[in-house]
């Protein structure tokens, strides 16, 4: 339906203040990425304490703390993940109207790749296997995830580029990357819940090679394991974006604290 508008530039957004620059980091990942390392369990279950129904289904808003049931195959993960949603620049508006295919192209041009579903889950839940990136209960103040849903004119995305841009602008309720300082995963990855939905490469058994994770600005309940695998890889919409990953450098290749120092002895 929306293939014609894949890769459209995001619309302008006025910022109230420029965020502080990121500090330089050393280690197995570039400065704009964060190391995601640990054991990923194929299945993680939690005990819901606050289930709320809406018109279509029900969602959990609170879980029993420190209770995680881990099962299935275990995968050791050690990779680098963009700290922010593409274009991965703090203070800039994240890209939307992106498909899984456009995410693959964009990341490849930068020497990266789409994140896998398992990498995304581990980056969100951390070593404690949290149901939500920031803890055990939904807190709508922490991330941009509690905006009221706006009715969509679906036909606008099938008409013209101008109509699609106009409709996307009307529906936009995202925020610049990093505006919510409290919306940070245990590995330091920002905006994994809310803001824009993120394309990932799916695990085996899914119907499509790509899926969406993290919900968007109108889904506060979407947690670390909330995968939306209903769309084909050319699907793009007003809230779909992504972030990139790459393999982390081997431990022996990591820069040491003495790199760059000139030898002074003879």
Domains in the chain, start-ordered, CATH in brackets?
Answer: 3-8+32-248 (3.90.1580.10)
Q: Encoding tokens for residue 11?
A: 């619309």
Q: What percent of the chain has pLDDT over 90?
A: 77
Mean pLDDT, the chain, integer: 87
**pLDDT in the model for residue 255:** 55
DSSP 8: P
The Cα–Cα gap between 11 and 96 comes to 9
DSSP 252: G
Consecutive H or E run containing 165: helix 161-171
> Which ranges constitute the DSSP H helices of 11-90?
none
pLDDT digits (tens, 9 = 90+) for 93-142: 999 999 999 999 999 999 999 999 999 999 999 999 999 999 999 999 99
Burial 89-106 (b: 16+ CB within 10 A, else e): bbebbbbbbbbbbbbbeb
HSE-CB for 184 with a 13 A CA cutoff: 11
Residue 249: how many other CB atoms lie within 10 Å: 16
**pLDDT in the model for residue 69:** 96
Residue 172: how many other CB atoms lie within 10 Å: 19
pTM of the model: 0.84
The Cα–Cα gap between 116 and 86 comes to 15
Tell which residue, 240, 214, 213, has the closest CA to residue 229. Answer: 213
pLDDT beyond 50 at 3: no
pLDDT beyond 60 at 16: no
Q: Which residues pair with 70 in a beta bridge?
A: 44
Per 3-state DSSP, the chain is made up of helix, strand and coil in percentages (nearest 5) of: 15, 25, 60
């Amino acid at each position: 339906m929306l293939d014609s508008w894949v890769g459209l530039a995001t619309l302008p957004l006025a910022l109230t203040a420029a965020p502080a620059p990121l500090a330089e980091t050393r280690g197995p990942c570039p400065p704009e990425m964060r190391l995601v390392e640990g054991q990923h369990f194929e299945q993680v279950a939690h005990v819901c304490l606050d289930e709320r129904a809406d018109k279509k289904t029900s969602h959990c808003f609170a879980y029993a703390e420190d209770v995680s049931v881990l099962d299935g195959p275990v995968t050791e993960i050690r990779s680098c993940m963009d700290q922010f949603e593409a274009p991965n620049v703090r203070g800039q508006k994240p890209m939307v109207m992106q498909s899984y295919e456009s995410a693959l192209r964009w990341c490849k041009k930068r020497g990266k790749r789409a994140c896998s579903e398992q990498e995304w889950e581990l980056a969100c839940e951390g070593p404690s296997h949290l149901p939500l990136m920031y803890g055990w209960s939904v807190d709508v103040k922490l991330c941009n995830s509690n905006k009221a849903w706006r009715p969509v004119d679906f036909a606008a995305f099938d008409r013209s580029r101008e109509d699609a841009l106009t409709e996307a602008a009307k529906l936009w309720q995202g925020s610049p990357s990093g505006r919510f300082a409290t919306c940070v995963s245990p590995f330091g990855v920002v905006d994994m819940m809310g803001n824009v939905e993120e394309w990932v490469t799916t695990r085996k058994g899914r119907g499509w090679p790509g899926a969406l994770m993290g919900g968007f600005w109108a889904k506060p309940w979407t947690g670390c394991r909330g995968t939306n695998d209903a769309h084909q890889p050319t699907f793009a919409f007003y809230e779909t974006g992504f972030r990139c990953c790459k393999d982390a450098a081997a431990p022996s290749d990591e820069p040491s604290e003495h790199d760059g120092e000139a030898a002074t002895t003879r």
